[in-house]
Each structure stands twice: as structure tokens, then as C-alpha cells.
Structure 1
Amino acid sequence: MLAVERLSHWFVNGGEETPVLHNIHFTVEKGEIIALLGSSGSGKSTLLNLMAGLMKPSKGSILINGHPIEKMTENQLAEFRRTQIGFIFQAYELIPHLTVRENVELPLVFQGIKAKLRKEKALFLLAKVGIGEKSELFPSQLSGGQQQRVSIARSLITEPAIVFADEPTGNLDTKTEKEIIDLIIELNSTLSITFVIVTHELEVAKRTRRVIQLRDGFLVEDASWAGEPE
């Protein structure tokens, strides 16, 4: 599903190279849920941007469903992201003047999907994430946890190959954080969706079955947890 192969990255400023990632190598299988754990400055945000095709690596390769995304043109990458990659953001990134349903439908609008099918898929996913009755409200009428559920539904609407969740509980209280991680784990199990959760919180990371930890741009741990997630 996802293969990061001997990946290194550096930024160039005024002819000087600043290394950020060093020889990162790991794979994620279809239907797996993993955490990418690291503190600020560990390189996890850069790695996320590379895996999502928002940047190209200085060295190495990233394959999603066998496609080496670093070899794609910008137009090819844009199309690939629209159809194959879902995103969940810390700050939800919902459009305030659109209803909950319209926010979830939006990726399908860009694909030219007919309105009836868009609505059916959006309502199905909103029910799946537990807020089907909120479909015609606006984001400002929802709590933070409910807005994140909308973001999760939107990330799934194109039936992507993989979903990247960037600090999905960063703006939530402890109780709501647990509910959102419970939901992601349930969706992973029932829909066989592949998730990569980027987080700086060990307690969030340990809820997944496997943790890839970065420190100062190096992969320091790739650990599978025994038994069921907590």
C-alpha cells in the first residue's frame, strides 16, 4: 500500500543544505493503521508532506499502491491526491458557508460526480461517523469533536487508498480525543481503510497497532504493539 524507501530530505537555503530526514525506510500494508510519532522538529511534518505528494524528496522513493509519486508531474500528483489520498486536519478545515453535507460532498464536486450520488454518499458517511442528523447544519453549529467527524467523513468520500490524519486530536479535550481515535479505529476495522496518524502524543500513538517513531530526522523505532489496541 505505502512504501517509503531509503528516503532522505534536505532544504537548501543560500546554497547551504539543512538535512531534515535521514534514510527513512518502512512499509504500510493495505488495511493497516499506524502512528507516525515524533516531537516538534523530529521531521514528521516533512515526512507527511512527502508521503502526501505535497513535496518531492531529495533522495529515495515513495510508492502508494505501487505508484512512485516522486516521479509524477504536478498535474498527475494533483489528480492522484484527489482520488487516492484522504486528509484529516487538526483544524478541521471546513468551509463555514457550506453545510455539513456540502463539506463532505466537496471532493466529489471536483470529480464531476452527479449531485444525487454525492448526497447519498455523504449522508451514508455522516451516519457512519455518528452525526447523520447534523447534515444540514453549518460547521459553526457543531462542537470541535463533531467538526472533526465531518472532516473524517470528507476524507473518505472519494474512497481513497490511504488516509493521512495530521494531529487529528490536537484541538480536542481528552474525552473527545478518545472518541475520535475510537472512531478512526472502528472505521479502519469495518471499512478496511488504511490510516497513518501523525501525532506527538504517545497515548494516541499507542492506540494503533504499530508506531513508527522519528527523532531528529531518524527512524528510531518501528514497533508493533501486542494484543488489541487500548
Structure 2
Amino acid sequence: MLAVEHLSHSFRSGSENTPVLHDIDFRVDKGEMIALLGSSGSGKSTLLNLMAGLMKPTSGSILISGQAIEKMSENRLAEFRRTHIGFIFQSYELIPHLTVRENVELPLVFQGQRGKHRREKAMSLLSKVGLGEKTEMFPSQLSGGQQQRVSIARSLITQPAIVFADEPTGNLDTKTEKEIIDLLIELNQTLGITFVIVTHELEVAKRTRRVIQLRDGYLVEDGAWAGDAE
């Protein structure tokens, strides 16, 4: 599903290179739910951007569904992201003047799919995330946890190969954080969705079956939790 192979990355500033990631190598199988754990400065955000095709690596390869995304043109990569990758953001990234249903439908609008088909898929997903009765409300009328549920439904609307969740509980209180992770686990188990959850929170990471931990740009753990996030 996802293969990160000998991935390294540096940022250039003038004539100087600053290494950020060093020979990262791991695989994620279809249907897995993993956590990418690391404190600030560990390189996890850079790794996320590379895996999502938002940046090109200095060296190494990233394969999603067997396709090397670092070799794609910008136009091909943009199309690939629309059809193969879902995103869940810490700040939800909902459009305030669109209803809940319209926000979830939006990726299908970009794909040119018909209105009736879009609505049916959006309504089905909103029901799955517990918002079946709030489809015509606006984001401002929802709590933070409910807005994140909308974001989760939107991430699934294109039936992506993989969903990247970037600090999905970062803006939520402890109770709501648990509810959102419970929902992601349920979707992973019932729909077979592949999730990569990027987090600095140990309690979030420990809820997944597998933890990949970064420290100072190096992969230091891959497996069941066995370390310190600091």
C-alpha cells in the first residue's frame, strides 16, 4: 500500500544543506492503522508532506499502490492525490459558507461527479460518522469534535487508498480526542481504511496497532510502543 524506501531529505538555504530526514525505510500494508510519532523537530511533518506528495524528496522513493509518486509530474501528482489520498487536518479546513454535506461532497465536485451521486455518498458517510441529522448545518454551528467528523467523512468520499491524519486531535479536549480516535479505529476495522496518524501525543499513538517513531530525523522505533516520545 505505502512503501517508504531509503528516504532522505534536506532543505537548502543558499549554499548550505540542512538534513531533516535520514534513510527512512518502512512499509504500511493495506488496512493497517499506524501512528507516526515524534516531538517537534523530529521530522514527522516533513515526512508527512513527502508521503502526501506535497514535496519531492532529496533521495529515496515513496510508493503508494505501487506507484512512485516522486517520479510523477505536478499535474499527474495532483490528479493522483485527488483519487488516491485522503487528508484529515488538525484545524478541520472546512469551508464556512458550505453546509456539512456540501463540504463532504467537495472532492467529488472536483472530480466532475454528478450531484445526485455526490449527495448519496456524502449522506452515507455522514451517517457513518454520526452526523446524519446535521447534514444541512454549517460548520460554525458544530462543535470541534463534530467538525472533525465532517473532515473525516470528507477524507473518505473519494474512496482513497490511504488517509493521512495530521494531528487529528490536536484541537480537541481529552474526551473528544478519545471519541475521534474511537471513530477512526471503527472505520479502519469496518471499512478497511488504511490510516497513517501523525501525532506528537503518546496516548494517541498507543491506540494504534503499530507505532513508527522519529527522533531528530531518524526512524528509531517501528512496531508496538517501546519508547519515549521526547
TM-score by length of 1: 0.97
Instruction: Determine the structure 2 residue equivalent to 1:210.
Output: 210
CA distance in 2, matches of 1:35, 1:192: 16
What displacement does 1:223 show? 1.4
1:30 is paired with a residue of what secondary structure? Answer: coil
What displacement does 1:224 show? 2.8
Instruction: Determine the structure 2 residue equivalent to 1:111.
Output: 111
> Do residues 2 (structure 1) and 5 (structure 2) align?
no
CA distance in 1, matches of 2:9, 2:132: 42
1:105 is paired with a residue of what secondary structure? Answer: helix
For residues 43-70 of structure 1, the C-alpha deviation after alignment (integer angstroms, 9 at most, x for no partner) is 0000000000000000000000000000
CA distance in 2, matches of 1:89, 1:133: 23
Structure 1 unpaired stretches of 5+: none
Q: Match for 1:13: what amino acid?
A: S
User: Identity of aligned pairs, percent?
Assistant: 83
For residues 66-90 of structure 1, the C-alpha deviation after alignment (integer angstroms, 9 at most, x for no partner) is 0000000000000000000000000
CA distance in 2, matches of 1:147, 1:57: 33
Instruction: Determine the structure 2 residue equivalent to 1:148.
Output: 148
For residues 139-196 of structure 1, the C-alpha deviation after alignment (integer angstroms, 9 at most, x for no partner) is 0000000000000000000000000000000000000000000000000000000000
Instruction: Determine the structure 1 residue equivalent to 2:24.
Output: 24
Q: Match for 2:57: what amino acid?
A: P
CA distance in 2, matches of 1:52, 1:156: 15
Matches within 5 A, 1:76-155: 76-155=76-155
> Do residues 49 (structure 1) and 49 (structure 2) align?
yes
What displacement does 1:225 show? 5.8
CA distance in 2, matches of 1:147, 1:207: 21
Instruction: Determine the structure 2 residue equivalent to 1:179.
Output: 179
Q: Match for 2:189: what amino acid?
A: S
CA distance in 1, matches of 2:67, 2:85: 12
Task: Count how many residue pairs are aligned between Structure 1 and Structure 2.
Answer: 226
CA RMSD, Structure 1 to Structure 2 (Å): 0.9
- Structure 1 segments, 4+ long, off by >3 Å, are none
Q: Match for 1:190: what amino acid?
A: T
Q: Match for 1:161: what amino acid?
A: A
Q: Match for 1:178: what amino acid?
A: K
CA distance in 1, matches of 2:219, 2:63: 18
1:9 is paired with a residue of what secondary structure? Answer: strand
What displacement does 1:215 show? 0.2
TM-score by length of 2: 0.97
